[in-house]
Amino acid sequence: MKRFTIKCILRGVSLIGCGLIASTPVLLAQKQTKSDWLLNSASYMAMVKTNENKKEVTLDNGLVKRTFRIAPSVVCIDYQNQVNGQQLLRAIKPEARVTINDKIYEIGGLTGQKENAYIRPEWLGQFTPGNQAFKMTGFEINPIRPQLNWKSKFWAANHKQPTGKVLSFHYRATATELSGLELDVNYELYDGLPLIVKSLSIRNKGSESFTIGRVVNEILGMVEEQSAVVGGVDQMAKPQGIYFETNYAFNNAMRYDLSDQTTHWKVDSTYRSQVNYDYQTPCLLEIYPDKVSGIELQKGDSYHSVRSYELLMDSYDRERRGLSIRKMYNTVAPWTTANPIFMHLVSKNDEQVRTAIDQCAATGYEALILSFGSHCNVEDTTATNIKKWKELADYAHSKKVFIGSYSLFSSRKISEEDDVINPKTGKTGGAFFGNAPCFGSKWGLGYRDKIKAFYLKAGFDIWENDGPYPGDVCASTTHPGHKGLEDSQWKQINIQKELYHWLNERGVYINAPDWYFLDGTHKIGIGYREVNFSLPRENQLILNRQNIFDGTWEKTSSMSRGFVPLTRYQGGGPEAVLEPLKDHLKDYEQLMVQYYGAGVQACYRGPRLYDTEETRLMVSGVIDWYKKYRDILNSEIIHLRRADGRDWDGLLHVNPKLKNKGMMMLYNPLKEKITRTVKVPLYYTGLTTVAKVTEKGKAPKSYALSRNYEIEYTCTLEPESYCWVLIE
């Protein structure tokens, strides 16, 4: 008789093994005892195990387990979250589906499952392969290779590329009409993360060309999130056990979930025992870009699908889910942890650039970006322009200051020949920004080449790419970079990605207001309305803290940037700006502290960083403080209380790997002094019994942690002020 144990979590919401659970104190205590991967992931190493008797291959790192039956066909039979024991699969599906020359082919999979609410291992022997146009010829296991050859030269929290194992199943076409095609389905399992990344590649080794249509690189029959008798796909909750993200996202939303182009939740017509009366439960997941087809695959060419990042979630808790996503980024995209201290210069001449470089060097700023409206034109690759900016770059580097510039691609009209052609009208106009160039046009390809030439020859370090390719389709049949409407989006986004990869390989840092993080961008807007920077400074102070609080749930501080208008920006009067700087030192300091205190860089936009020695000392003092505590200030954020202008607000940085395991930032927006007692959650600091707390450099005090991993901290805040509290 089999023995088993069910671990009941009192004060929790479910039993381990039954699905997602809330992060209650008792659960967190159990996680910490078991080496919570968010605190210490060193023991969770990726392995690939084979079982010849059962004809199975398993990916396993102690956090996630995914098992494949490899005969008579490759099929995923087990997908389990090992943190909470949740089984994610209820039905067997093909491993992928591709359309070639207008015909659909399934890759792997078995048929014959009659009950689709769950899978029993003893059923597997009764299933049979369908019509398999591709036959698995073998598999291999290799170390994960970096997706981006990032040259790291800026300060970063993580300079290391991720490690793990990749399992690749190799297929060869058996259908006569597909002669010469080879296909790989790849599963990357990462060390220290409950993450699997899936992708697909096709190679043409034949003598004929093929047309690749829709490529569905992931199909999962997942356990439903919600049991409802009535309701449609758009009304019912989607499964939350896996967070899905791909490197195919855009539209300037500055959030992944609103930028995603590939995640499709569908109904499963074979699932006849579901509760929903009309069989409309969204429990079939397919990953594919829906505006892509007609990709020509010539002899010797290869096609590479989108990359599906599948991060398993063990909780509904918003903070824990956000921490998981942020740790994924810190690990798989280490370039996003780079976070140089930069100024946004509005310049009219070279002398202003030299002066700004000197001010950066004098205050500890690490980089200067020529802002929009400045006199730097990176599209001018004439020898004269290159020579001028190379001399200025050399001067900046002699002062140990990086230099970069703004450049606009989209939301501009170039010409009737080079702009995106609207498929509805056959004319220009109707793009995401109204008028926009096609990246596959002659001008678009030339723009790419000019950026490369300027950055290579002038030696610039930062590219602020405003209006990157936003996903416009183009119906032109004369543009050299794409064939027609069907392949226009795919071709354009890959031109954009190739440029970002090229720049990263040369150490160029990229600011871009769209979700290209997994292909090389470093920073995006934290999320704000630009006209708000025309409001009075007292409004901006609170609004900025709200933006920081709201914009750091799913992205890290280093992936985010804010804005500080030193001079007039889109309207507003003297009450909206900081110039003259010497007259507004308190607001200037407060704005700097609340950004740097969150680990968020802001675009300090204007002609100078200081106007008097007193101003310089204030700016230098904040930067010195930030650099002293840079490691913890760039660590993960726990959201304490959102700014509302009525009472205190604040956040907490945590990092169990540092000596300084926590840094709390508290703010008083009121015009009177306040004393508040704050419950400080310290679970994610890794502390278990005692915390040593230091307020603004004063003598430390020791606090005993409660069973909830909390301390109660009492702080007095002066009117309209801030306070920082170090935790060891």
Report the SS3 class of residue 96.
strand
* Other beta carbons less than 10 A from residue 463's beta carbon: 24
Q: How far is CA 304 from CA 421, 573, 651, in A?
A: 26, 52, 41
Helix axes 585-596, 613-628, angle to 10 degrees: 20
Q: Beta strand pairing status for 308-312 and 242-246?
A: antiparallel
pLDDT score of 17? 39
Q: Which of 231, 226, 162 is nearest to 191 (CA)?
A: 162
Report the SS3 class of residue 340.
coil
pLDDT score of 709? 97
Q: Which of 254, 252, 406 is nearest to 343 (CA)?
A: 406
Cα–Cα distance measured from residue 435 to residue 530, given in angstroms and rounded to the nearest whole number: 21
Grouped pLDDT means (10 residues each) for the chain, 728 residues: 42 43 60 82 97 93 98 97 97 98 97 96 94 94 96 96 98 96 98 98 97 98 95 93 97 89 97 94 97 96 98 97 98 98 96 98 98 95 98 98 97 96 96 94 98 98 95 97 98 98 98 95 93 94 97 96 93 93 97 98 96 98 98 98 98 98 98 98 98 96 97 97 98
Q: Are 16 and 84 in contact (CB under 8 A)?
A: yes
Helix (H) or strand (E) holding 242: strand 242-246
pLDDT score of 10? 34
Q: Are 582 and 536 in contact (CB under 8 A)?
A: no
Widest CA span in the chain: 84
Q: Are 358 and 331 in contact (CB under 8 A)?
A: no
Q: Are 201 and 233 in contact (CB under 8 A)?
A: no
pLDDT score of 308? 98
Q: Which of 523, 587, 583 is nearest to 559 (CA)?
A: 523
Cα–Cα distance measured from residue 217 to residue 159, given in angstroms and rounded to the nearest whole number: 30
> Phi first, then psi: what are they for 703, rounded to 5°?
-130, 135
Q: How far is CA 188 from CA 135, 149, 177, 216, 304, in A?
A: 21, 18, 31, 17, 15
Contacts of 568 by beta carbon, 8 Å cutoff, 6+ apart? 534, 576, 577
CB contact burial 360-394 (16+ within 10 A = b; e otherwise) = bbebebbbbbbbeebebbbeebeeebbebbeebbe
Q: Are 256 and 554 in contact (CB under 8 A)?
A: yes
pLDDT score of 572? 85
Q: Are 343 and 362 in contact (CB under 8 A)?
A: no
* Other beta carbons less than 10 A from residue 542's beta carbon: 16
Q: Which amino acid is at 223?
A: V
pLDDT score of 695? 97
Cα atoms in the Cβ-side hemisphere of radius 13 Å centred on 80 = 18
Q: What is the DSSP string of 373-428?
A: TSS--TT---HHHHHHHHHHHHHHHHTT-EEEEEEE-SSS---TTTBPBPTTTSSB
pLDDT score of 664? 98
Q: Which of 577, 567, 489, 563 is nearest to 523 (CA)?
A: 563
Q: Are 281 and 234 in contact (CB under 8 A)?
A: no
Q: Are 489 and 217 in contact (CB under 8 A)?
A: no
Q: Which amino acid is at 143?
A: P
Q: Which amino acid is at 62?
A: G
Secondary structure tally for the chain: helices H, strands E: 11, 36
Q: Are 687 and 705 in contact (CB under 8 A)?
A: yes
Q: Which of 355, 349, 472 is nearest to 418 (CA)?
A: 472
Cα–Cα distance measured from residue 382 to residue 584, given in angstroms and rounded to the nearest whole number: 42
Cα–Cα distance measured from residue 660 to residue 694, given in angstroms and rounded to the nearest whole number: 10
Rg of the chain over all Cα atoms, to the nearest angstrom: 27
pLDDT score of 131? 87
Q: Which two structure tokens, joined as six digits, stand for 555?
A: 């992205």
Q: In sequence order, which ranges of 246-313 are alpha helices (DSSP H)?
A: 256-259
Cα–Cα distance measured from residue 595 to residue 465, given in angstroms and rounded to the nearest whole number: 22
